[in-house]
Amino acid sequence: MRSATPSVGLRLLAVVWACSACADGIAPGEPTELEVVATGLADPVYLTAPPGASDGLFIVERGGRIRVVRDGSLLATPFLDIRARVGSAGGEQGLLSMAFHPDYAANGDFYVDYTDTGGDTRIVRYTVSANPDVADADSDVTVLSVPQPFSNHNGGLVAFGPDGMLYVGLGDGGAANDPDGNGQDPSTLLGSLLRLDVDGAPPYTVPPDNPFVDDPQARPEVWAYGLRNPWRFSFDRVTGDLYIADVGQGAREEISFQPASSDGRENYGWDVMEGSVCIDPTSGCDQGGLTLPVHDYTHADGCSVTGGYVYRGEDFPELEGRYFYADFCRTWIRSFRVDGGDAVDLRDHSEELGPVPSVSSFGEDGGGELYVVSLAGTVYRIVVK
Percent of the chain with pLDDT over 90: 88
Structural domain boundaries of the chain? Answer: 2-384
- Mean pLDDT score of the chain, rounded to an integer? 92
The whole-number pLDDT of residue 12 equals: 34
The whole-number pLDDT of residue 24 equals: 52
The DSSP code for 322 is: P
Tens of pLDDT, residues 238-255: 999 999 999 999 999 999
In the CATH hierarchy, which fold is given to the domain comprising 2-384?
A: Neuraminidase (2.120.10)
CA distance to 8, 88, 286, per residue, from 292 (Å): 44, 32, 12
Q: Reply yes or no: is the peptide bond before residue 78 cis, omega within 30 of 0.
A: no
The residue-averaged pLDDT of 326-341 equals 97
pTM: 0.92
The residue-averaged pLDDT of 168-178 equals 97
d(CA 15, CA 283): 45
Which range, of 23-37, 210-224, 293-307, averages the lowest pLDDT?
23-37
Question: What is the side-by-side strand order in the sheet with 135-146?
Answer: 95-100, 109-115, 121-128, 135-146
Single out the residue of 225, 294, 206, 234 nearest to residue 266, CA to CA. 225
Tens of pLDDT, residues 362-378: 999 999 999 999 999 99
The phi and psi torsions of 255 (rounded to 5 degrees) equal -130, 125
**In degrees, to the nearest 5, what angle opens at C-alpha 204 toward C-alphas 203 and 210?**
165
Alpha helices in 45-119 (DSSP H): 104-107
Tens of pLDDT, residues 98-156: 999 999 999 999 999 999 999 999 999 999 999 999 999 999 999 999 999 999 999 99
